[in-house]
């Protein structure tokens, strides 16, 4: 099974959800928190593979979202 992420305008959301339902495809609307968690997971994965993610970039993201570092 594959996962595809599609950005749709807010006013088109219902159309796409009904289209997916009609074609018996599972769909999920991501919250802003979900998107942030995916970004952090991506940075962690990049860091594991390259050992080259700047720690300041991670701290900056945390500070931006209210975490004191």
Q: In 3-state terms, what secondary structure has residue 29?
A: coil
All structural domains of the chain with their residue ranges: 10-64
pLDDT for 21-58, tens place per residue? 999 999 988 888 888 888 888 888 877 777 666 778 87
Output the pLDDT for position 12: 93
Structure tokens at 16: 């796409």
Structure tokens at 28: 């999920």
């Amino acid at each position: 099974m594959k996962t595809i992420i599609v950005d749709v305008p807010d006013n088109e959301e219902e159309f796409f959800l009904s289209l997916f339902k009609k074609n018996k495809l599972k769909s999920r609307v991501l919250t802003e928190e979900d998107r942030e968690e995916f970004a952090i997971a991506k940075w962690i994965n990049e860091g594991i593979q390259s050992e080259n993610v700047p720690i300041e970039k991670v701290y900056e993201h945390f500070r931006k979202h209210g975490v004191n570092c």
